[in-house]
Copies of this chain bind each other. A is one copy, B any other.
């Protein structure tokens, strides 16, 4: 009963890379550390992080005292980069996928709506970088707890 929801994979991946963006760029964070801090199943996260590696968003150091760090600076990594690395491109409906074509397309009146949605969603994701998230703890719930911890 919930539509157009991003998968856990992507949420977890974003948690991880956002965590890295808050750490010293030279520091290597282990899977164990990230998983614990962000409350993500460790082995699952391991696989997710491998995908971010292959796409060149983060880099790794192997062996003891190894771990991960951002491959480029936080303002050069967008939400879209992460999402696309993990799940491929966003296609809000089947006909928005280039590889697929619908037989109704020539006389379909709703494709305009899908492309409008797709354009807007993509715009937000490409515009938002990890650096943008630095300051805002949680836009809506800036209440007692978060204020006191910031002091």
Question: A92 in the interface, Cβ–Cβ < 8 Å?
Answer: yes
Q: How many residues of A contact B (CB 8 A)?
A: 55
Q: Are B88 and A111 in contact (CB under 8 A)?
A: no
Can you pick out 14 interface pairs between chain A and chain B where the beta carbons lie within 8 Å of each other?
A1-B89, A2-B88, A4-B5, A4-B90, A5-B92, A5-B94, A105-B138, A107-B138, A108-B138, A109-B133, A111-B138, A112-B139, A113-B128, A121-B121
Query: How many protomers of this protein does the assembly include?
Result: 2
Name the residue of chain B whose CB is nearest to the CB of A90. B3
* Chain B residues, CB < 8 A from A125: 113, 117
How distant is the Cα of A120 from the Cα of B123 in the complex, in angstroms?
11
A121 touches which of B115, B120, B136 (Cβ 8 Å) = B120
